[in-house]
A and B are shown apart, each in its own frame.
Chain A
Amino acid sequence: MTATAAPARRAHPSPVRKRAARVTRTGFVAALPFLAPALAAYAVFVVGPMVESIRLSFFEWSGFQGAPQEFVGIRNYVRIFTQDPVFWTAFSNTLVWVVLSLFIPLGLGLVMALALNRPLFGRNAFRSIFYIPGVLAPIAIANMWRWMYNPNYGVGQTLADLLNAPWLGEIQWLGDKNLALYSIFAAFVWQIAGTNMVLFLAGLQGVTPEHIEAAKLDGANAWQVFRNVTWPALRPTTVVVLVLTIINSIKVFDLIVGMTGGGPAQQTQVLALWSFQQSFGNHEYGMGNAIATVLLVVTLVIVVPYMVWTARQEKNS
C-alpha cells in the first residue's frame, strides 16, 4: 500500500513495479463495480424482506397498504405458540418431513447409486428414469400424484381390482387425515431420490477400482468393502446430500399446495405454507411473519454449523 510513496521505486525492475501498482488498485473500490449489482439485488429483494419480516412479526397488520401497523411486542409469538392449534401441527409436520427425508430418499438414492455404479445393460436409461422426476416442476408432480391418488379412478382402485383386495380401493390417500402427509411425502421421495442418486454417483467416482480390488485381495467381502472403502470415501458427499435434503424439506410448499392445500383439517400444514396462508389468505401479516421468523431461526440453527464446518474444512485442506 505504501509502494507509491517509496523513494526507491525507480530502482525496482519494471515488471515488479507494474504488479505493485496493480495491487494498489485492487481494493474494495476496484471490486465494487463487479459486486454492486448483485449486492444491490440481494440487499433489496432478499435481505431487506427478511429483516422486514422480523420487524413485522412484532406488529399487527392486515397487509393492506395504508392500513395501520400496530406495535404489539411479542404478542404474535405468544399467539402462535399458545393459541394457534395449526402452528404446532405445521411445526411437527415440518419436523417429521425433515427426519423422514434424512432416511428414505437419502437411503434410496444411495442404493440406486451403488446399484448403477457398474456396467449394466441399459444403465443410462435406468439412471434417467430415476432422475427425471427431479427436473419436473413440483406443482406438476403434485397434479400427477393427486390424480394417482384419486379414490375412484386412481392407481389404488386398479391395484385393488388386480390383487382382489377391495380394502386397497377404499383408502383415502389424501383424504385421511392420518395418512395424507405420508402420501404427499411419497411424491417427495419420488421427486428427490434420483437427485440424491446423481450426487452419490458423483461421489462414488472418488472410489477407484484399485482401492476395491486391493481390499478384495486382502479378503474383504462385499459388506466389508462397502463399510471400509466406499462409505468413508462417500462421507463428504453424504454431508452435502444431508444438508441439501434438510434445506429442501424445510422449503416444501408446492407439493402440499398442489395436493391438499394443507388439508384435510389442516393436517398436512407445514411452516412454510402456514406462514404464507396467514399473511396472504387470512391477512394476519404479524402472525404470518412470526411463523416466517420461526422458520428462519430453524433454518439458521441447521445451516450455520454446517457453514462453519465447511469453512474449517477448507482451511484445513
Chain B
Amino acid sequence: MSVVTVPVAPSAVRPSRRRPFGRQPRDWVRVGLWIALLVAVLIWAVPLIFMVFTSLKSEPDIFGTPAFVPPWNPEWGNYVEALDRGNLLTAGGNSLIIALVKVPLGLFLSAAAAFALSRLRFKRQRLLMGVIAMGAMVPIQVAIAPLFQVINGLGLLSTHIGVILPYLAFGLPYQTFILYGFFRQIPEEIDESARMDGAGNWRLFLTIILPLAKPALAALFILDFVATWNEYSIGLALLQSQESWTIPLALQGFQSQFTSSYGPLNAFTIMSMLPVLIVYLMFQRYFVEGAFAGAVKG
C-alpha cells in the first residue's frame, strides 16, 4: 500500500533509462517488441474496425464484400436509419438527465459520508466503513428482484427518479470508500487550525476538505459518468416503458427488433458509444488516476 500514495499518471513518468553499453542489440529487441505490439494493437482494434466498416456499408456490400474491405462508398444512410427507427434521441436524453443528476449528487453524498467516516470521530467507525465498502463488491443481481418490488411499491417504475435512486445507492459504497482513503491522507493539522479559527463541521467539509479532494472528485466524476451511461441490468428491471429507456436498453431493443439490419445496428452501436468516447478522449488522465485511486484502496 505504501507503494502507491500519490496519484501519478504513468504517462507523466518518463524514466530516462540508458544503458551505458550495448546499445546495438538492445535496439533490435526494441524494434521486435514494437512490431509485436503493433500486431497486437491491430488485432485488438479488429472489433472496432469491423463495426465502423459495417456501419458505412450498404446492405449488398455487407453481404457481398469481405469483412475487412473498407467501405469505399460510405453509406451514411445507416446512421439516419438508426436515428429514425431506434429512439436514439429519446434514450440519449434519458441517459443524459439520469447521469447529470445522479453523478454530482452521488458524489456529494459519498463525500459527506466519507468526511464523517474519516474526519469526525465516533464509535464503530471502521466497522461502518467496512459494511459500506462491502456493498461495492456484491453483484447487483443479488438484490435486483426485491429492488424491483421496492420501486414498484413506490410507484416509480419507468421514471427517471425511480432509477436514479438505486443508481445513487449502488454507487455510494465504492465512491465513499475511495474518498475515505483520500480524505485520510489530508493531514489532521488542517482540521485543527480550521477549528481554531472557529470553523464548524460543515464549513470544514465544504470550504477545506472538498476543495482539497478535487483531483479525486474529478476522477470519480468521469468514471461514474461512464459507469452510469453504460449501466444495463438495473435499467432492464426498472425501466419498462420504451419512452423511459436509457441508451443501453435502446441498443438492446434495437438489436432484438431489427436483428438483421446490420448496417443500422452497427451505426446505432457507434452512436451509443460516442459520448463515452468523447469523455474518454477529453479526460484521459482522470481514467488513469481513477483506476489508480481504485488500485490504492481496492
A-B contact pairs, 10 of them (CB 8 A): A26-B120, A28-B123, A52-B149, A129-B45, A135-B276, A137-B232, A141-B47, A206-B3, A247-B139, A276-B233
A96 in contact (CB, < 8 A): no
Q: How far is the CB of B223 from chain A (nearest CB, A)?
A: 9
Q: How far is the CB of B110 from chain A (nearest CB, A)?
A: 6
Our pick among B50, B145, B295 for the contact of A155 (Cβ within 8 Å) is B50
Other A-B pairs, 9, CB within 8 Å; known A46-B135, A49-B144:
A19-B195, A31-B116, A46-B170, A53-B146, A127-B11, A162-B66, A251-B139, A276-B141, A307-B133
Task: Report A93-130 residues with CB < 8 Å from chain B CB.
Answer: 112, 115-121, 123-130
CB-CB nearest in chain A for B166: A45
On whether the beta carbons of A50 and B142 are closer than 8 Å, the reply is yes
B186 in contact (CB, < 8 A): no
CB-CB nearest in chain B for A39: B113
CB-CB nearest in chain B for A108: B40
CB-CB nearest in chain A for B54: A147
- A112 — which chain B residues lie within 8 A by C-beta? 40
**Of the 9-residue stretches A5-13, A75-83, A176-184, A252-260, which lies at the interface with chain B?**
A252-260
CB-CB nearest in chain B for A158: B67
Give the number of chain B interface residues (Cβ < 8 Å). Answer: 108
Task: Report B230-278 residues with CB < 8 Å from chain A CB.
Answer: 230, 232-233, 236-237, 247-248, 251-252, 255, 262, 265-266, 269, 272-273, 276-277
- B138 — which chain A residues lie within 8 A by C-beta? 50, 296, 299-300, 303
Where the two chains meet, the residues of B that have a C-beta atom closer than 8 Å to any C-beta of A are 1-4, 8, 10-11, 13-17, 30, 33-34, 36-37, 40-41, 44-48, 50-51, 54, 62-63, 66-68, 109-110, 112-113, 115-117, 120-123, 126, 130, 132-135, 137-150, 152-153, 165-166, 168-170, 172-173, 176, 192, 195-196, 201, 205, 226, 229-230, 232-233, 236-237, 247-248, 251-252, 255, 262, 265-266, 269, 272-273, 276-277, 279-280, 284, 287-288, 291-292, 294-295, 298
On whether the beta carbons of B134 and A303 are closer than 8 Å, the reply is yes
Alpha-carbon distance between A110 and B15 when the two chains are bound, in angstroms: 19
